[in-house]
Chains A and B, each alone.
Chain A
């Protein structure tokens, strides 16, 4: 189904979070993620109260209900007292500020005159302080926009903030975090909701990403840049989809979100048509453990054996709406279950639209509906867990069901790898910021801004043109090098190997990619080895065909030097004379084969000869010689 995005009133805004390649924002610790276990563990609690949050913040309310423990894993060498919230922050990192200002200027945004570092209340424990430090660095003006074919997208704000701690695990009662990531400087850029289609969002995301990279001072690799997507449609509601790491997923996520909101609107319409009122939906749960005493369902049986109970609630007039698919492969029932999981920490829910199933029998299903007095249009939801958890889960389900009658609730949602999203928490309210009193305001003098202006690197568009002109490669290729962040490697490889830019670009963009696709660990390849391989090719010591073989060999056995790899693969280039001799020899040996298969024998002979010459001579050369010799034999034979 083709969706007219303008008609449904799609509004999308993007927010980038780009990690900077400097030490941390408020201390001197390195911004490096660790792979080992941390040595120190801290247990903390957050004590926030309603009165302090001013206007009641739904996100705060939500979290407050949970009396959670936070365990922080602290590295003794790469973390300090600042990340552990055991001392006040140091001064704002000057280098990070300079990069943020540089990006502001590249985006034609206007730096503020005086920076005030703020504390943004964060209650999920992802900051040890209970807040995230963040500062407004620049604002958009008339001139700050991303130009695309589908129109301009205005840029609104650029802020510099602390990265959160890395989450290890989370449950309603406890969450664990690692502190290696906490405090890495992040530049956040936000657009207005000017983006028009899912594809448009991807285009804008890519353009801004290139500008970040043009500074050469941002971190690279998965997770170093994350996009938040703000999205709404007419009659729907604003959602914040938090932390999309892969650009390619953006269109799919947006398509799914549009589908989900349209689905929820449809459900609302249907519920109203069925005459459902708010009063009818209530938390009148009953215990139905008796029905499942002898159940064949393993999940249910195990929970009951562990002392759990089966609780059920009626969702009046919801029959067949819970099984409605609202995202690719995900139903409205799944939406309810994510609420139950997130809020109550249960494993999931069962609902009547999907029963009998999961080992729950027809009789049990009927018993359930009967005990709840369900009529034709009513649905039932079942949870089996500890009494307290099960009750909380049903409360969450009932609350969410009530919202279905109103429409689309505003939420913060988590993107999943398959392009769908999942409920995370309610969308936080606006008044969550207050000044960081431990850091004085920072004045930005005009001379300082001008100094940074002089250091601005070329824009991505200029870079593409320059690369293309200088190395005589197509602009498309130059752009691809930039997108894949390989322009520096390309330049060096051309300069040091002397190889033809086109070959270098092909090796970097295509060869490496196909090796990766084959599962070769190309991350083991160093710049040096790629340059050496290209250099051997340039000197005529190896053929073009040998390049992927050598790179593969080195990637698989990283201890080998390039020379050793060439030697082990026996890839020294051979002269055409030698090839010709070998071809003649094979042809004379396989005369019978040639005579019976005629022209079709060329490929067979080719295969035999290539066993010896793969990677040493271009395939075309071998083919030409084989064809020549085979034809000679055939001609001779015809004459006979």
Chain B
């Protein structure tokens, strides 16, 4: 018996032998209502029964008003999405592009007859939904996991990186990773650092409007991503998302130079301290700047990662104990998103000194996001340099965080970690900041 109700409502429905999607009749003192019982999300109260009327509308009826309730027909509705099938992906020989599913908005689907939303929308479902993609490349799909991107985690980056390298080494031209957009730029950075030599493109994409609606941006994002992934000359991790609120082009962003800058817009992803790499849609692919060529060698994944790394935002009135907390918990690295050119309030100098004395690596970036840190202009900067912090150049705080995790994972020697951080590994440090990079634009 499936019944998605709790508490009092559940008791009443159970007493009357009613299940989800049964056609039922409810009699109140003024009305007789007939409709399909709709499951009720757990977060809602237990004081209402929700039915769908024959005209398609849902409404909730308060328990106190119900005089009589009974089943008219068991399972009164034909459901368009059958119970979630156990996941099985076909293995397609000679595939040109592998699509790896990890969850997120791009992977949600609704059962239109009941209104239930199913997150288990697989990469394969995307193929079924957008068959046009077959005209671009022969696709193989793989579902790694299905999570919301706020739940993304370094050990999952490892899984993605390993799968991507396996796929590339199995002979596909490129890989598309579908991902929730919230932390997509962290994963893009992680893959950029973990996959230092790439035999083909790795494209991360997602959706800002869910796939369960006509206006979804998933269609263009997905098709464009597959087009980029099948361009075998590219040897970088890139993010492909809408260029503008219009459905005509997507932007190809460098994986280490992009950030979600808006909570909801289709064109939320913007380049930071960089230009865009190129533009793409179903039909066209244009590169506007130089990109790193794909390597002739096999793709190598170095997935060692240290998770005891923190990211702290400096702000007026910040309590220095924050840093002490991290140190007391034996954190090995800290990224500070400082103010302006890379400054922190004076009360942080003492705990930063303690950190460095205790061999914890401290990287200073800027919460301005745009521009380079410079610790030689003001006194505070010079004080920080003297303490031994590493200036994060023009790296985003998030990118510096990921890089520090990987640096600490790979190297035991602090000096080696430092030199890794200061070296441009995957385009994350741009020695040349053009005036055209700010204000940022997707053009």
Residues on A facing B (Cβ under 8 Å): 42-49, 51-55, 81, 84-88, 110, 112-116, 118-121, 123, 128-131, 134-136, 139, 141-142, 157, 159, 430-435, 437, 440-441, 443
Known contacts A141-B31, A432-B56, A434-B112; decide if A47 and B62 are in contact (CB<8 Å).
Answer: no
B137 within 8 A of A: no
Chain A's closest residue to B61 (CB) is A113
What is the bound-complex CA distance between A118 and B50, given in angstroms? 13
Q: How far is the CB of B67 from chain A (nearest CB, A)?
A: 14
What is the bound-complex CA distance between A44 and B214, given in angstroms? 10
List residues of chain A with CB within 8 A of the CB of B57: 116, 118, 134-136, 157, 159, 433
- Asked whether, in the complex, the Cβ of B65 is within 8 Å of the Cβ of A113, the reply is yes
- Asked whether, in the complex, the Cβ of B264 is within 8 Å of the Cβ of A87, the reply is yes
- Asked whether, in the complex, the Cβ of B53 is within 8 Å of the Cβ of A129, the reply is no
List residues of chain A with CB within 8 A of the CB of B244: 42
Given A48, A54, A86, A110, which contacts B113 in the complex, CB threshold below 8 Å?
A: A54
Choose, from B141-149, B245-253, B289-297, the stretch at the interface.
B245-253
The 8 closest A-B pairs by CB, nearest first: A130-B214, A114-B60, A433-B56, A87-B264, A116-B58, A136-B57, A46-B214, A435-B115
Chain B's closest residue to A430 (CB) is B56
Known contacts A114-B48, A130-B214; decide if A47 and B130 are in contact (CB<8 Å).
Answer: yes
- Residue with the highest number of chain B CB atoms closer than 10 Å, among A118, A157, A433: A433
B288 within 8 A of A: no
B15 within 8 A of A: no
B212 within 8 A of A: yes
B216 within 8 A of A: yes
- Asked whether, in the complex, the Cβ of B59 is within 8 Å of the Cβ of A136, the reply is yes
- Asked whether, in the complex, the Cβ of B55 is within 8 Å of the Cβ of A129, the reply is no
What is the bound-complex CA distance between A355 and B270, given in angstroms? 62
- Asked whether, in the complex, the Cβ of B265 is within 8 Å of the Cβ of A136, the reply is no
- Asked whether, in the complex, the Cβ of B80 is within 8 Å of the Cβ of A113, the reply is no
List residues of chain A with CB within 8 A of the CB of B58: 116, 118, 136, 435
Question: Which residues of B in the span 79-119 have a Cβ within 8 Å of any Cβ on A?
Answer: 80, 109-115, 117
- Asked whether, in the complex, the Cβ of B59 is within 8 Å of the Cβ of A123, the reply is no
- Asked whether, in the complex, the Cβ of B80 is within 8 Å of the Cβ of A54, the reply is yes
List residues of chain A with CB within 8 A of the CB of B55: 157, 430
Chain B's closest residue to A120 (CB) is B56
- Asked whether, in the complex, the Cβ of A114 is within 8 Å of the Cβ of B59, the reply is yes
List residues of chain B with CB within 8 A of the CB of A139: 31, 33
B contacts with A: majority SS:
loop
Residues on B facing A (Cβ under 8 Å): 30-31, 33, 44-45, 48, 50, 53-62, 65, 78, 80, 109-115, 117, 128-130, 209, 212-216, 218-220, 244-248, 263-266
- Residue with the highest number of chain A CB atoms closer than 10 Å, among B33, B53, B58, B220: B58
List residues of chain B with CB within 8 A of the CB of A53: 112
What is the bound-complex CA distance between A112 and B48, given in angstroms? 11
Known contacts A81-B265, A430-B54, A437-B117; decide if A48 and B214 are in contact (CB<8 Å).
Answer: yes
Q: How far is the CB of B241 from chain A (nearest CB, A)?
A: 13
- Other A-B pairs, 6, CB within 8 Å; known A44-B246, A433-B56: A52-B80, A116-B57, A135-B57, A141-B30, A159-B57, A443-B48
Given A44, A55, A116, which contacts B247 in the complex, CB threshold below 8 Å?
A: A44
What is the bound-complex CA distance between A432 and B78, given in angstroms? 14
List residues of chain B with CB within 8 A of the CB of A131: 213-214
Given B50, B109, B246, which contacts A116 in the complex, CB threshold below 8 Å?
A: B50
List residues of chain A with CB within 8 A of the CB of B214: 46-48, 121, 123, 129-131
- Asked whether, in the complex, the Cβ of B61 is within 8 Å of the Cβ of A114, the reply is yes
What is the bound-complex CA distance between A129 and B78, given in angstroms? 26
What are 28 sample pairs from A and B whose C-beta atoms fall under 8 A apart? A42-B245, A44-B246, A44-B247, A45-B220, A48-B214, A49-B129, A51-B128, A52-B110, A53-B112, A55-B78, A81-B264, A85-B215, A86-B264, A87-B263, A87-B265, A112-B61, A114-B48, A114-B50, A114-B62, A116-B50, A118-B58, A120-B56, A129-B209, A130-B214, A142-B30, A431-B113, A433-B115, A435-B58
